[in-house]
Chain A
Amino acid sequence: MDIKQRITEANEEVVRRLTSGLPVLVDIAPAGEVIPGMEGKMITHSGPPIEWSRMCGAQQGSVIGSVIYEGWAETPEDARALLDGGEIHLEPNHSHSTVGPMAGTISPSAPVWVVENRTFGNRAFCRQVEPRQQFGDYSPDALDGLRRWRDLFAPTLREALLHLGGVELDPIIIQALQMGDELHNRHSASSSLFANQMAIGIAKAGVPLDRALPTLGHLAGHNLLFLGLAMAAGKAITDPARGVESSSVVIAMCRNGTEFGIQVSGLGDEWFVAPAPVVEGLYLPGFTSSDAGLDMGDSAITETVGWGGFALGGAPGILALVGGTPEDALGYTREMRGITTAKHPTHRMPALGFEGTSVGIDIRKVVQTDVSPIIDTAIAHREAGHPIIGAGMVRAPMECFKGALRAFGRRYTP
């Protein structure tokens, strides 16, 4: 069999795995108890591997916040001294079956969503989504938000979840795509659908009102509640598609605010990186593009499985956040057909004639067409110490795909 045929068959197998995953939320537990390899004074972060000194301002700020939150330091200055001295172990989320939004920082006591892929039996993890510490804000208010999640919301939701025996996420994903979510930065429908189920769980579990009411308020008021679940689902779906010999399909795209990185199924765990790009976007009052950091976060796992920018045509409501016209959004979604392998059989978009989302980004098609994946994303400040400042659109750097294609050629051609 020639190499082209082998690639075709390998990519079909990868797409079979990507489209047959069944993510189920099975637990909400402290990271140190459930994430493989999370030991000692470790903080995991978004994007490809990076050392402390090369992290962007926002990611450094978020790490500082995690160090203080864990009680390993009392002040930002003390936290920096620990990090400068190499006393905190920093590793990429992706190396631990994990993903995290924006700076993506996860520390041992932080409760994470635990999602199991029922088809393949693997588990993946993601931290909660919030608008402050994950963007680099380490103020007392930002860290109080982490403590409230740890001490109140997460344990209450865990009690409800265990009473329910888990929550299947694919029915929520399917329904939300038909209700105008693209499952990266618009989670209005998915968050509501998830909140409905958890509210029933809270009631059935008999959670006392002093914990039930604030937790229900959190569920009702958090428009991006489901993003962490979608990301964990995306990671749980993509991990079984790793390591398929001869496959040219992308199984991870992520950014640490300094570099953008991709991994390819047929190329093992090697990262192909390029400088993180500038996000074109809209800014919250008081901020401009001159304040913005570069592209950051593991949340492009959603585009990797066909949501986010790839499903933008079915989610015009998101344009109020990221800018652009409905025609632009449909154009992006149609454009992504040209760089992918298949249409998802059940993740459908009504605005596109109920066609399935595009899955299986093929590095060969990206390079051939000179069209790189489109991602909608939030924007962090370029300096440490700030919450979210905006949102917009960004393209994955073509150099990641060219680098991967060079490696693919070296490995698979004589």
Chain B
Amino acid sequence: MTEPIDDLLRGPLVIVNLGLRGFAESLEAQADDVVQVDWLPPAGGDAEMIDLLDKLL
């Protein structure tokens, strides 16, 4: 009996990358299909601003 995860990994993969584009580029170099999500951390990653925004937005 095979697990669903085995079926997934046996077939062609489409990889979704969230974050540093370098991860996506290294996978693309290995001929994998990669979708790079257009995302940046809120407030440029400024922790003080993120805390304020959690309260106000």
Q: Which residues of A contact B (CB under 8 A)?
A: 3-4, 7, 248, 364-365, 367-370, 402, 405-406, 408-409, 412-413
Q: A409: which B residues are within 8 A, CB to CB?
A: 52, 55-56
Q: Determine chain B's interface SS by DSSP, over half rule.
A: helix
Which chain B residue shows the least CB distance to A364? B57
Min CB gap A264→B, angstroms: 12
Mark contacts of B15-52 with chain A using CB atoms, 8 A cut-off: 1 yes-contact digit, 0 otherwise: 00000000000000000000000001011101011001
Number of CB contacts from chain A to chain B under 8 A: 43
List 30 interface pairs A-B (beta carbons < 8 Å), by A numbering: A3-B56, A4-B57, A7-B56, A7-B57, A248-B56, A364-B53, A364-B56, A364-B57, A365-B57, A367-B52, A367-B53, A368-B42, A368-B43, A368-B53, A368-B57, A369-B42, A370-B40, A370-B42, A370-B44, A402-B46, A405-B49, A405-B52, A405-B56, A406-B48, A406-B52, A408-B52, A409-B52, A409-B55, A413-B52, A413-B56
Looking at the complex, which one of A248, A367, A406, A413 makes contact with B43 (CB distance below 8 Å)?
A: A367
Q: B48: which A residues are within 8 A, CB to CB?
A: 406
Which chain B residue shows the least CB distance to A248? B56
For the complex, give the distance between the alpha carbons of A367 and B40 in Å.
12
Q: Which residues of B contact A (CB under 8 A)?
A: 40, 42-44, 46, 48-49, 52-53, 55-57
Min CB gap B5→A, angstroms: 36
Min CB gap B38→A, angstroms: 12
Looking at the complex, which one of A4, A369, A370, A402 makes contact with B56 (CB distance below 8 Å)?
A: A4
Which chain A residue shows the least CB distance to B43? A367
For the complex, give the distance between the alpha carbons of A364 and B51 in Å.
12
CB of B55 within 8 A of CB of A402, answer: no
Which chain A residue shows the least CB distance to B42? A368
For the complex, give the distance between the alpha carbons of A408 and B57 in Å.
12
CB of A367 within 8 A of CB of B55, answer: no
For the complex, give the distance between the alpha carbons of A177 and B18 in Å.
39
CB of B43 within 8 A of CB of A370, answer: yes
Q: A406: which B residues are within 8 A, CB to CB?
A: 48, 52
CB of A402 within 8 A of CB of B49, answer: yes
Q: B42: which A residues are within 8 A, CB to CB?
A: 368-370
Min CB gap B53→A, angstroms: 5
Min CB gap B35→A, angstroms: 22
For the complex, give the distance between the alpha carbons of A4 and B43 in Å.
18
For the complex, give the distance between the alpha carbons of A248 and B57 in Å.
10
Which chain B residue shows the least CB distance to A408? B56
For the complex, give the distance between the alpha carbons of A368 and B48 in Å.
11
For the complex, give the distance between the alpha carbons of A81 and B53 in Å.
49
For the complex, give the distance between the alpha carbons of A375 and B18 in Å.
31
Q: B57: which A residues are within 8 A, CB to CB?
A: 4, 7, 364-365, 368
For the complex, give the distance between the alpha carbons of A409 and B56 in Å.
8
Q: A3: which B residues are within 8 A, CB to CB?
A: 55-56
Which chain B residue shows the least CB distance to A8? B57
Q: A368: which B residues are within 8 A, CB to CB?
A: 42-43, 49, 53, 57
For the complex, give the distance between the alpha carbons of A413 and B53 in Å.
11
